Structure 1
Amino acid sequence: MKNLRYFPHERNVYFKGKLLTVRDFESEQRYFNDKRRLTNRLLHGGGVVCGLQVIAVDEKQISVEAGVALDYLGREIVLPEPVKLKLSMMEGFSNNDYAKNVYVCLAYDEKGKEQVFSVSETVEQEMAEYNRVAEGYRLFIKEEAPHPASIEGVQLVEQRVLLFADPQVRIWQSTPRYVNPGEVFTLQLHIEKTVQTSRVQFQYKLDAPRLTVLESSDGSVSFLEPVDAKETDYVISIPIKAGWDRGTVELAVLGGKAEVRLGDRLLHTDLVSVGKIEITPDDLVERLVSDYYSRKLDKVTHANEQPFLYLAKVCLLQMNATYVIEKVVPVPFGEYVYTPALLQKLALRAQKGKPVEQGSYTDSFRVTTRVKEIAAGDKPQFDVSYDNLASVYQLELGLPRPGKANEQVATGVVEIPIEPYSSNWPFGVKIGNRYFSEELKHSLGKGSVYVSAGIEDFHADVIDELLSQHEQVMYGHSSVFDDSEYATDAANFAVGVIVYPQKGTFRIGVQVKGPVQIDRARIRWWAIKPQAAGTEDVAHQDSQE
């Protein structure tokens, strides 16, 4: 029975001489099914109970292990034995594009069994009916991820907002619904991308008067994917401190736009608000529990139009005219059923390592740590400072530098914007234009320092990313490689350096010598300073400007 309603609850009354019809027997089954499913729905929720692991059998096939789950209508789904399936043959899989992520989904299903002829009052009304209903399952593919806020239960404790989405990249953020005054909480950025998507960058500036982004002076919330990273999922935690005035704070976006960069492609997406947070002196756990039990019955028992589960995310890699399974992420949206026995054991385990609570929410603070190198002959150092405005303890540990050397070395990377920029060459960057960095510190102190700079060759070509061919830095006269098999886009730049010995700084300049299709020049620099007589330490540091 595909009955999606829980009410009303009516059961049969039996007495001698009662005529039992089809309606009575169906009512008998419906009564017990609805009771059981309502209990499952309200006390357990939906998700995987056990098993149902999805594994890659080979480059094109997956296997779903036997297991049990509850859907969001309280119906039991049982896979009695493992199932092996070819992705491209599954329902919902489209063959028009293989560079994507797909989701293996599980839904409740039932089918008629044992077809027989029914007995009717007239011959004309005789027809075939099923004598049994077999409860089963349906495995299929969804090529779009669900909205982050649509996963059941998450909106009770946090607010999820979708910031950007296209077929290759999805960015969303989560924030708590409630925080205490003065509390330092975490805003989390979630970045989901396909395997062959170019390097992702994202940024917007938070405009919330009663909130302070602790690690940014201008309120920026940003993500920069590491150059050589090959991950498809990132979670970035950004600490924010709440003000002392209670009330609801809207998380507005300065300028109403966010900046998204996919490789060399720059996009702007409209983003006016990214949610709300209530600053309250109430006990947060009690507030969340109160919200949970204050839910309206019609919302709790609302029949989901698509009550299926996401068992796995399968990341695909396009190879010529076909696909290859790159990796499988199990239960990507955390859809599990947590039994009371499991929750009890987890609670007991957490209590064993729980520190003694002292003070109240007004005592909340953060701790940051930093390790620095000191001279080889010095004793280790340990310093503690406190930032009262940000409620941050800063711990600094100084360790002697190992080994001997006759020079100090520092290195770093700086990106110099190339403006104006247009993708319609030749109306983009004019040949001969010069661009300069800000004054940079090399951290080697005042005095004579030799600085060498080279331009890194990088671009958004998918094949080069897969083969790591973009890892090249060009120093010296790049014209040596013109018209050779080693020529790159970096050869169209000339690089120069000015050193300011009395200030301990330097400046880098670049000049466009040929056609370029990038909006920034990425420069790797090295600073070398001869060691003074009688010293033995050597500094090695890497900085990103």
Structure 2
Amino acid sequence: MKNARYFPFERNKYFYGKILSVDDFESEQRYNNNKRRAINKMLHGTGVVCGLNVINIGDGSISIENGLALDNGGREILLEAPILKKLSMFEGFDNDKNASDSSYVYLCIEYEEEEKELVHSIEGNLEGGNSNGKFNKYKESCRLYLDYYDPEEEISEADALYFQTLKLYENSGLIIKQVLPKFVKTGETFNLDIIIEKISLSADILLDYEIGLECLKYHNNEKVKISFDESKVKRSNRYVLSYKIAAKDVVDTDGSCTIKPENFSLKIGKNDCKLNDKKAQEVKIIKDNISEKVIQAYFSKSMDDYVNSIRDKKIYLAKISLIKAGNTYVIDHVENNPFNQRVFNSVLLQGLKKTEKEEIENLKSLCLKSLKDKSSISEKSQEICKELPLDIKSGVEKIEVISGKAGEVVFSKEITHGIGLGNVYITLGIDNESKNEILFGDFNVFEEKMVLPAAKAYKDKGTMIIGIKLLHEIKNQSFNIRWMVYRDAKERTKDVPEITMSIKPDMCDINVLETIYLEAISTGLSDNRCSWKVKEKFGGEIDSNGKYTAPSIPGIYEIVAKSIENPEIEASTFVIVREDEK
């Protein structure tokens, strides 16, 4: 990129009698341009400011609306007037690509300037020409071109603040990426996404590999098994596999996801592909607010980091899907701004903030309405409830039906009802908002043939699910199911689980000076935190997160974990420390 650096900021000093040269005028322009572009880059970012939408016109043509964008150097990219053009006429179109190589293409835009308005010059001839003249002006415009390749890095600057991408494999028209958040709160879950993209590959792929976890867990296991067989799914150019990973109860430490070559298997058709070296990603486990951590990380960068990040990063206006046969192509559909490269101005941000505020107010109103509905029970019923030693919880579950035929069943998510473990009783009703009614029991009595609700309680989990059976075909309709869960309070004592604590792994074998994470597993405690100690005086060290560092002396050492909530509850495990055979 030309003029990639903005500094130093130097402007002309004018005085009476000063002789001005071309350098003085260029310095004046450079000063103003660099200051404006620095503000654009560091304050607004990169992306589309307005317009520049791409529309499929048909007949292999697209229309691009006029608009404005900012590139990664802060330069304004202006498309003054709309463009209507055949896709094959754009720079970069490759008609020789076969159908499997060109299922989609990206339309990109970048800054461009050209010299114009030839005028007479006393200095001499125009370079390469016979005229005694020079170009008088620069016209700033844009260059539109096509690109068949996916970006190699995270394009969205906003996404890059929160997420990190690791490229596991790239070859033979196949890219496999792994996406993790940069920060996660202690004990909370997050998505581990595996993204599989096929660019020029027709053969089916079979992927199997194992991710080793440290300070993280997947269904209480310290590894995740990734399996994908393309022959068993609907074919696509892009697949996303999501796994729910949980952070352990550790603070201010790094959770890691590690993939070893021996645990990685990939088949492309009949060909076996390997992972050349170990791959790893780390996610920071924190107890603070994630947004605050992102802001802190953002402002910890130096100005040089921003300036040096200037490179020819492309702006992708659209992803255009093609159906191609020989030299003929049809535009299937157009996805505008596929990587969310947008610049949000203050007006738009204020509008979004107002919308969020209204949504919060609506949520508050719904909560107040729900409380009023609960208070509408008759005074007699309230008196009975007070006299009976009952535990009662209630709520409303909204079930959406997109499209369903008579006899089909739609289920809610699993609901924690709040009563606890053991036997419970459940009553269900359906809001009939059009008639300001709530229906209970057999709705056929009232000739309301809509849906039939039912509930299933899980005694060992303290949860339930609600299902509705459709009594006729329904499309795009939602049902508010009111539920009440209750039980005899005398049965509470049956729900008190036994208090136990154990350490995972229960025994381990490591070399001197190596480290390993230990996890205390407890039941029956509301606070799972514990304190750690090594029983032997010179048996190594262990921190508050359970990270044990072996001593330099081989031996068998006992590690003790003690509950913070109930210090009488403790568990221990043994670590065998061996001399490093290397």
Please give the range of the TM-score, normalised by the shorter of the 2 chains: 0.5 to 0.7
1:278 maps to which of 271, 274, 284? 284
- 1:330 and 1:201, CA in 2 relative to 1: closer, same or farther beyond 3 A? farther
Deviation at residue 384 of structure 1 after TM alignment: 4.4
Contact (CA 8 Å) 2:212, 2:223: kept in 1 or not? Answer: no
1:347 maps to which of 353, 356, 363? 353
Deviation at residue 398 of structure 1 after TM alignment: 5.5
Provide the rounded CA distance (Å) in 2 between the counterparts of 1:83 and 1:401. 50
- The corresponding residue for 1:94 is 94
Normalising by structure 1, what TM-score? 0.62
Tell me the secondary structure at the aligned position of residue 219 of structure 1.
strand
Provide the rounded CA distance (Å) in 2 between the counterparts of 1:293 and 1:136. 33
Q: Is 1:118–2:121 an aligned residue pair?
A: yes
**Residues 320-339 of structure 1: pairs in structure 2 closer than 5 A:** 320-339=326-345
1:380 maps to which of 454, 458, 478? 454
Provide the rounded CA distance (Å) in 1 between the counterparts of 2:93 and 2:169. 24
Provide the rounded CA distance (Å) in 2 between the counterparts of 1:219 and 1:256. 15
Tell me the secondary structure at the aligned position of residue 344 of structure 1.
helix
Query: What whole-Å deviation, never above 9, does each CA across 1:371-400 have from its counterpart, x for those lacking one?
Result: xxxxx9x9833314676xxxxx75333667
The amino acid that maps onto 1:383 is A
2:153 maps to which of 138, 148, 161? 148
**Residues 215-230 of structure 1: pairs in structure 2 closer than 5 A:** 219-223=224-228, 229=234
The amino acid that maps onto 2:259 is V
- The corresponding residue for 1:65 is 65
Provide the rounded CA distance (Å) in 2 between the counterparts of 1:242 and 1:5. 42
Tell me the secondary structure at the aligned position of residue 41 of structure 1.
helix
- The corresponding residue for 1:81 is 81
**Residues 203-242 of structure 1: pairs in structure 2 closer than 5 A:** 203-214=208-219, 219-223=224-228, 229=234, 231-242=236-247
Provide the rounded CA distance (Å) in 2 between the counterparts of 1:276 and 1:70. 32
Query: What whole-Å deviation, never above 9, does each CA across 1:36-66 have from its counterpart, x for those lacking one?
Result: 1111111110101111112223353322221
Contact (CA 8 Å) 2:212, 2:257: kept in 1 or not? Answer: yes
Tell me the secondary structure at the aligned position of residue 57 of structure 1.
strand
Deviation at residue 297 of structure 1 after TM alignment: 0.9
Same amino acid, percent of matched pairs? 33
**Residues 175-190 of structure 1: pairs in structure 2 closer than 5 A:** 175-190=180-195
Aligned residues: 383
Contact (CA 8 Å) 2:38, 2:74: kept in 1 or not? Answer: yes
Contact (CA 8 Å) 1:195, 1:315: kept in 2 or not? Answer: no
Query: What whole-Å deviation, never above 9, does each CA across 1:340-371 have from its counterpart, x for those lacking one?
Result: 22223223323444579xxxxxxxxxx9539x
- 1:151 and 1:130, CA in 2 relative to 1: closer, same or farther beyond 3 A? same
Q: Is 1:396–2:470 an aligned residue pair?
A: no
- The corresponding residue for 1:21 is 21
Deviation at residue 167 of structure 1 after TM alignment: 5.7
The amino acid that maps onto 1:144 is Y
Tell me the secondary structure at the aligned position of residue 122 of structure 2.
coil
Tell me the secondary structure at the aligned position of residue 148 of structure 1.
coil
- The corresponding residue for 2:445 is none
- The corresponding residue for 2:46 is 46
Provide the rounded CA distance (Å) in 2 between the counterparts of 1:80 and 1:63. 14
Query: What whole-Å deviation, never above 9, does each CA across 1:238-261 have from its counterpart, x for those lacking one?
Result: 211111123112210255453445
- The corresponding residue for 1:11 is 11
Tell me the secondary structure at the aligned position of residue 149 of structure 1.
coil
Tell me the secondary structure at the aligned position of residue 311 of structure 2.
coil
- 1:303 and 1:21, CA in 2 relative to 1: closer, same or farther beyond 3 A? farther
The amino acid that maps onto 1:7 is F
1:298 maps to which of 304, 316, 329? 304
Provide the rounded CA distance (Å) in 2 between the counterparts of 1:339 and 1:192. 33
The amino acid that maps onto 1:343 is L
Contact (CA 8 Å) 1:257, 1:270: kept in 2 or not? Answer: no
- The corresponding residue for 1:107 is 110
Deviation at residue 174 of structure 1 after TM alignment: 1.6
Provide the rounded CA distance (Å) in 1 between the counterparts of 2:339 and 2:322. 18
Query: What whole-Å deviation, never above 9, does each CA across 1:482-527 have from its counterpart, x for those lacking one?
Result: xxxxxxxxxxxxxxxxxxxxxxxxxxxxxxxxxxxxxxxxxxxxxx
Query: What whole-Å deviation, never above 9, does each CA across 1:414-457 have from its counterpart, x for those lacking one?
Result: xxxxxxxxxxxxxxxxxxxxxxxxxxxxxxxxxxxxxxxxxxxx
- The corresponding residue for 2:248 is 243
**Bigger RCO of structures 1 and 2 (CA < 8 A, at least 6 apart):** 1
- 1:332 and 1:402, CA in 2 relative to 1: closer, same or farther beyond 3 A? closer
Tell me the secondary structure at the aligned position of residue 9 of structure 1.
coil
Provide the rounded CA distance (Å) in 2 between the counterparts of 1:276 and 1:89. 45
Q: Is 1:308–2:314 an aligned residue pair?
A: yes
1:164 maps to which of 157, 162, 169? 169
Contact (CA 8 Å) 2:126, 2:133: kept in 1 or not? Answer: no
- 1:121 and 1:144, CA in 2 relative to 1: closer, same or farther beyond 3 A? closer
Provide the rounded CA distance (Å) in 2 between the counterparts of 1:18 and 1:126. 32
Deviation at residue 96 of structure 1 after TM alignment: 3.1
Tell me the secondary structure at the aligned position of residue 258 of structure 2.
strand
Query: What whole-Å deviation, never above 9, does each CA across 1:121-158 have from its counterpart, x for those lacking one?
Result: 99999953210110000011122111133543433211
Tell me the secondary structure at the aligned position of residue 292 of structure 1.
helix
Provide the rounded CA distance (Å) in 2 between the counterparts of 1:20 and 1:159. 51
Normalising by structure 2, what TM-score? 0.58
Deviation at residue 117 of structure 1 after TM alignment: 3.3
Deviation at residue 278 of structure 1 after TM alignment: 1.4
Contact (CA 8 Å) 1:120, 1:126: kept in 2 or not? Answer: no
Provide the rounded CA distance (Å) in 1 between the counterparts of 2:95 and 2:131. 45
Deviation at residue 200 of structure 1 after TM alignment: 5.2
Deviation at residue 9 of structure 1 after TM alignment: 0.8
- 1:195 and 1:326, CA in 2 relative to 1: closer, same or farther beyond 3 A? farther
Once the two structures are overlaid, the 10-residue window that deviates more, 214-223 or 343-352, is 214-223
Q: Is 1:289–2:295 an aligned residue pair?
A: yes
Deviation at residue 198 of structure 1 after TM alignment: 5.4
- 1:401 and 1:133, CA in 2 relative to 1: closer, same or farther beyond 3 A? closer
- The corresponding residue for 1:407 is none
The amino acid that maps onto 1:114 is E
Tell me the secondary structure at the aligned position of residue 58 of structure 2.
coil
Contact (CA 8 Å) 2:155, 2:341: kept in 1 or not? Answer: no
